[in-house]
C-alpha cells in the first residue's frame, strides 16, 4: 500500500462509520482515479430500503457514467460480496484495496483469478467497526449477507 491507498481507505472507513452512525451497515467505498476521488459512498440498504445499495454500488452510482474504469482503483472497507465482486469484474476495475476480510471475505481469490489486483490492508479500524456492528446488530448483519 502507498500513501494514496492509505488516504483513500481512510475515506472509505469514514463512509462506513457514517453509515454505522445512521443506523445502517458500516461498509464504505471509494472509486479513485490517479489518486483523486471520483466518488465515494456507503452501504445504504437500511437508509434507502434498497437491498442492492451496498457500499461499492453506492460509490459506483455516484460516479455516474464512466467511459472506462480500467484506470481506477476501488477501495472498500470490507471484502466485497459476490454481487459487488461481479460488478468489479463487469466494469473491468483492475485494482481493489480491501480494508479487512476477517469478518467477511472469500471473493479475493475469485477477483484475482479474473486478473484483478487485490490488496487486503487488514486495517484495525475497519476490523473493529465491523466487529462492533456484528456484535450490536447481528440480525441486520445476517440480513445484509442474506443469511
Residues with Cβ within 8 Å of residue 17, at least 6 apart in sequence: 26, 28, 129
Containing 145, the helix (H) or strand (E) segment is none
Catalytic option among 22, 36, 56, 108: 56
Does the annotation mark 15 as catalytic?
no
Residue 9 C-beta-side C-alpha neighbours within 13 Å: 23
Bridge partners (DSSP) of residue 120 are 98
Beta strands in the chain (DSSP E): 28-33, 36-42, 72-76, 95-98, 117-120
Annotated catalytic sites, by residue? 56
Amino acid at each position: 500500500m502507498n500513501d494514496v491507498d492509505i488516504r483513500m481507505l481512510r475515506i472509505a472507513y469514514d463512509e462506513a462509520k457514517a453509515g454505522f452512525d445512521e443506523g445502517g451497515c458500516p461498509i464504505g467505498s471509494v472509486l479513485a482515479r490517479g489518486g483523486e476521488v471520483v466518488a465515494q459512498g456507503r452501504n445504504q440498504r437500511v437508509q434507502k430500503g434498497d437491498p442492492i445499495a451496498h457500499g461499492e454500488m453506492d460509490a459506483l452510482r455516484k460516479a455516474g457514467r464512466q467511459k472506462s474504469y480500467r484506470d481506477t482503483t476501488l477501495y472498500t472497507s470490507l471484502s466485497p460480496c459476490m454481487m459487488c465482486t461481479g460488478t468489479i469484474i463487469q466494469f473491468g476495475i483492475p485494482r481493489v484495496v480491501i480494508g479487512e476480510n476477517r469478518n467477511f471475505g472469500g471473493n479475493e481469490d475469485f477477483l484475482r483469478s479474473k486478473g484483478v489486483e487485490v490488496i487486503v490492508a487488514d486495517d484495525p479500524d475497519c476490523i473493529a467497526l465491523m466487529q462492533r456492528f456484528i456484535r450490536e446488530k447481528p440480525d441486520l448483519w445476517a440480513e445484509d449477507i442474506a443469511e
